[in-house]
A = this chain, B = another copy of it.
């Protein structure tokens, strides 16, 4: 296996955005280690995230910047930002309150694969109907 050793060893932040100008960002609870959600960032949202220490993503469906929590109130305070070896993926270690998934669960990963089916492994921590009012 060969890698691009320059990008793997360098101390310059040079995120590798994909053909759509996006990079994958994983939000991980800084305290518990739980993976909360996976979303995407463009250059502007990454810069905003670094500058404000509040996670800001780029919504592919709404085609605009999306400051996490702007609608739900469930903001993510960024404690640390990690990049991977080839700088095409980011981990945000975040401090959060309850309920990071718009479905009402703490994490978007509330189902596990078991015997070819899915099984709920978490209960909702808030009622999304109460939060996302039209």
Listed in ascending order, the chain A residues whose CB lies under 8 Å from chain B are 1-3, 8-13, 24, 26, 28, 32-35, 37-38, 50, 71-72, 80-85, 89, 91, 101-103, 105, 108-113, 116-121, 132
Say yes or no: A84-B113 contact (C-beta < 8 A), given A11-B119, A32-B33, A102-B3.
no
A69 to chain B, nearest CB (A): 11
Contact between chains at B108 and A84 (CB < 8 Å): yes
B28 pairs with A81, CB closer than 8 A: no
A34 proximity list for chain B (CB < 8 A): 33
Q: How far is the CA of A109 from the CA of B90 in the complex (A)?
A: 8
**Oligomeric state, in copies:** 2
Q: A26-B35, A84-B37, A103-B8 are in contact. Are A13 and B116 (CB under 8 A)?
A: yes
- Known pairs A81-B113, A83-B111 / 12 extra A-B pairs, C-beta < 8 Å: A2-B132, A3-B103, A8-B103, A9-B103, A11-B119, A13-B113, A26-B26, A26-B35, A84-B108, A85-B105, A85-B110, A91-B109
Nearest Cβ distance between residue A102 and chain B, in whole angstroms? Answer: 5
